[in-house]
Amino acid sequence: MIRKPTETRISRIEPLARLPVFFGLKGRRVIIAGGSEAAGWKAELLAAAGARVSLYAPDASEELLSVLTGLNDTAIDHIREPWSINVFTGAALAILATENDAEAQAFRCAAIAAGVPCNVVDRPAFCDFSFGGIVNRSPLIIGISTDGAAPVFGQAIRAKIEAMLPQGLARWAEAAQTWRPAVQALKLSFQKRRSFWERFTTLALSRPNDLPRDDDRNSLLALSATEATLSERGSAVLVGAGPGDPELLTLKAVRALQSADIVLYDDLVSRAVLDFARREAKTMLVGKTGHGPSCKQEDINRLMVSFAQQGKRVIRLKSGDPMVFGRATEEIDACRAAGVAVEVIPGITTAQGVASRILRSLTHRAVARRLQFVTGHDTAGQLPPDIDWRSIADQSATTVIYMPARTIRALADAALVHGLPRETPAIAVYNATRADEEVIEGSIASLPDIMGTKERNGPVIVLIGRSMKGAGDDWAALMPQASEDAALSKQNTAIAGSA
């Protein structure tokens, strides 16, 4: 059955416990009430964000006074009076440090009446917003929240991020602020503007602890100024989405998805992978499924070329690796014929993903010195007539069969006829590396019957060979020489008995 490419809307945002936002507080008034040390730490944080802090604390604790003395910050005004309804007028935020529920409720009601967002320290029931952990490379700032569920977990995440980000990135973030007006003055298109910031990012990450230099800025701007005079040229990128688990995406694949104008994806691509695409990108399903409705390859080729010729960056997203049963040659040829720049970003193959999940190596120096990939069906959905059965029966090879859901019995029968031993281990994996992954183990003789016990949905891959043995199997018994020795011993015993 034929179907047409269809524009889709991918749901990208799962429910959020809290909305992460960043308040601009420079020069704005913030209210803090409470005499504890916690009030002092909040005052320090808000003053660091540029706020003018009015701290209402008639009975300040020694700890609070110590914090204020240590800060000696003119942006913090310690008012030795209790808070009142009138103090909320014109405030940007209001924070209370108290253990008293009645005071917390009154403070919150006064804030709501004045239209001021409210936070009561460590009392989420009275909060409109919360403070999370902060990684400070200002103006690069990262906020971390567990919605109060696991503060220690949040602190551990913060520590990991702190260790990953060099302190020098703060200087590059400042440079980005300073250089942005010059970039805007060039009046670049979106893609060319993005190219500038991609080059900037590459430079910053390669030299994070170096000071950004005028020479760096000038060379980047000069290159972008040259590009601004050139006509807009689109491109196509064939990207491997891996077998399903989004964490198996390569960094290069993620960067490509985040620069996309158009994403053309197949049915087998995990929706979690699509979450990495730029939010403004248009997504189109150009599904090709075995034995089901599929878009014609010619239509997919035309779409890729057409969008690229409009100056778009087209991402052709394919399950697994584009170069393994992904019709990459046809799409590359179509782009080249039309003069469209094309590149390929490889992905984790389904075979690799499966091997990692079931902890079976695809090769073994004693029993599997060759690895071969075979398609389980031809263009008509039948077992391909030109399979090299001698190579399938080779006991020193591991064979990976892609998409054999409807042909596995015919394939197994033919392999047995051509000499593959019945006891050869075989494993079928449905929905590899995904949450609904299902692994079925057997031998090449028994696997088709096991797979046929019920109807299963999703893509399937079958791995055949001695390297697929189970944890309790005897390696020696599976080695070719051991099999030959056993047969010879049996023959000698029979000769001796007849004598």
Q: What is the pLDDT of residues 81-99, one digit of tens each?
A: 999 999 999 999 999 999 9
> Strand 140-144 to strand 133-137: parallel, antiparallel, or no bridges (unpaired)?
antiparallel
Separation of alpha carbons 40 and 53, rounded Å: 11
Per the annotation, the verdict on 192 as an active-site residue is no
| Nearby residues of 369 by Cβ (< 8 Å), 6 or more positions away | 363, 396, 397
Q: How confident is the model at residue 10 (pLDDT cuts 50, 70, 90)?
A: low
Contact call for residues 424 and 395 (beta carbons, < 8 A): yes
pLDDT tens digits along 305-348: 999 999 899 999 999 999 999 899 999 999 999 999 999 999 99
pLDDT band at 259 (very low <50, low <70, confident <90, very high): confident
pLDDT of residue 420: 96
* HSE value, Cβ hemisphere, 13 Å, CA-based, for 496: 6
Say whether pLDDT at 288 is over 50: yes
Is 288 one of the catalytic residues?
Answer: yes
Q: What is the pLDDT of residue 293?
A: 65
Residue 122: pLDDT above 70?
Answer: yes
pTM above 0.75, yes or no: no
CA separation, residue 23 to residues 26, 56, 448 (Å): 9, 22, 61
Q: Which residue has the tokens 């020696």?
A: 476
Q: Which of 216, 245, 261, 266 is catalytic?
A: 266
- Reported as a pLDDT band with limits 50, 70 and 90, residue 480 is low
Catalytic: which of 288, 312, 318, 469?
288
Given this model, what pLDDT does residue 409 score? 95
Strands across the sheet containing 235-240: 6-8, 282-285, 262-265, 313-318, 235-240, 341-345
What is the per-residue pLDDT across 37-69, written as a single tens digit (0 to 9) for each?
999 999 999 999 999 999 999 999 999 999 899
